[in-house]
Amino acid sequence: MPKLEINRIGKNLWEIPARAKKGMNVPARIYTSAEMLTAIDEAALEQVSNAAMLPGVVLNTLAMPDIHSGYGLPIGGVMATDPASGVVSPGAAGYDINCGVRLMKTPFVKEQIMPLREMLADLLAARIPAGVGRGGLIDLSDADYRAIAESGVAWAVRRGFGLKDDITHTESGGALEGADLEGVGGHAKKRGRDEMGTLGGGNHFVEIQYVDKIYNPEIAAAWGLREGQITLMIHTGSRGFGHQVATDHLKSMGQAMRKYGITVPDRELACVPVDSGEGREYLGAMRAAANYAWTNRQVIMHLAREALSEAMGVSPDSMPLLYDVAHNIIKLEKHEVEGKTRMVMVHRKGATRALGPGHPELPGAYKNTGQPVLIPGDMGRMSYLLAGTQTAMEQTFGSSCHGAGRALSRHAAAKKGRGRNLRHEMADQGVAVRSAEKGTLAEEMPEAYKDVSQVVDVVTAAGLALPVARMRPIAVIKG
């Protein structure tokens, strides 16, 4: 069991009280099962407790069942701060700003695609640049950067990289207001200049899947999904552009904290007042990186649409975007807190927004159902599609889990995979795999992650999301 005091306050809900650690301003809550709690690394629990020490944290810090230690806030962490008296912390959004997931529907069925999976894997791998430092087909000008910062996905659609409905079916319309390139350094722009439309390394992927199981026929039908249908999932973020933005601002905030009288238990939680000059500058740069990421996933989807359209002889219009969600981001949102409606600065790091039915930010297609919540598996694991709920709005600032969460470090996974031919192992399971980077398959093998079905079971049992559908992979393209 964890060293920190932790108390069970619900079937799948645990709390580290504010008294458990000197300096905590609010409790830290963890959504997990009794079985999964024993496997959570102590560092992750320390990190969600450390975040509870930051000035202006509202109500409590939170961790989803995919929690594991990262830098600053743990992966699977959620924190809300008061924009008037609280702070903003880049470490509570992560280095890969707006790493996220999108799901595209297709008119194909499993029986059509299974015999073609090796060919389609080769085709997608050839069309979509992938891997650390890999450049893409678009070299961004300064004018492009400004347009992307201002309009995000709309810029890509104007350039012919997608359909008009792609904009409305992306979280926040594919662009956060208030993006400002003034806080983006030259090195960040240089790193992102040729990475638009490229797939990152590590756990990022493009995956052809089929709908294996429908849990909620009514919602699935409303969303245009049926068993056996082929979907395409994309998981990637803001590449070197966002990473450098986070790196630069963590460093500058670390230097600025003294003048605001702020101390933190972990330098990766460096923070400044939301309304300070440094805070406004970071938020402007973070929003620009978020808009870059949404645009990046849009361009990748366009490349995949083109490839599938040509290979299968169908129109790109027959492959609409179901939804796109961010899971490393900071957003100013309106929430009910202790009976009062107030604006809070919600930090999500490895957590997905899960707006309930009727929320004003949702497009018409999802007003009655709640927001689509995308939970990716990978490398042979299943992926899940959920729907946001009012319970999430009331308990977690409208947040749910974002994936399985690592069970093994990349080093440990690489060691375990030594001597194995993972590509052949996956082929034996009916999954075609292509990887741009040597060693990625071992680092990202299925055994490296928690069982995603257990993670989904926790959030659905807690009422944070409703299960809608489950997808299984057919072909996976890795960075």
pLDDT per residue as tens digits for the range 445-477: 666 666 788 999 999 999 999 999 999 999 999
Confidence check: pLDDT of 14 > 80: yes
Of the chain, the percentage scoring pLDDT greater than 70 comes to: 91
Say what the pLDDT of residue 424 is. 74
Confidence check: pLDDT of 32 > 90: yes
- Active site (annotated) includes residue 359: no
Question: Which band of pLDDT confidence, cut at 50, 70 and 90, is reported for residue 442?
Answer: low
Q: Catalytic one among 169, 359, 402, 424?
A: 402
Say what the pLDDT of residue 438 is. 67
**Confidence (pTM):** 0.93
User: Which domains, and CATH codes, for the chain?
Assistant: 7-85+100-478 (3.90.1860.10)
Confidence check: pLDDT of 406 > 60: no
Encode the chain in three state secondary structure. CCCCCCEEEECCEEEECHHHCCCCCCCEEEECCHHHHCCCCHHHHHHHHHHCCCCCECCCEEEEEEEECCCCCCEEEEEEECCCCCEECHHHCCCCCCCEEEEEEEEEEHHHHHHHHHHHHHHHHHHCCECCCCCCCCCCCHHHHHHHHHHCHHHHHHCCCCCCHHHHCEHHHHCCCCCCHHHCCHHHHHHHCCCCCCECCCCCEEEEEEEEEECCHHHHHHCCCCCCEEEEEEEECCHHHHHHHHHHHHHHHHHHHHHHCCCCCCHHHCCEECCCHHHHHHHHHHHHHHHHHHHHHHHHHHHHHHHHHHHHCCCHHHCCEEEEEECEEEEEEEEEECCEEEEEEEEEECCEECCCCCCCCCCHHHCCCCCEEEECCCCCCCEEEEEECHHHHHHCCCEECCCCCECCCHHHHHHHCCCCCHHHHHHHCCCEEEECCCCHHHHCCHHHECCHHHHHHHHHHCCCEEEEEEEEEEEEEEC
Confidence check: pLDDT of 409 > 70: no
Say what the pLDDT of residue 416 is. 59
Q: 321-369 pLDDT, tens per residue?
A: 999 999 999 999 999 999 999 999 999 999 999 999 999 999 999 999 9
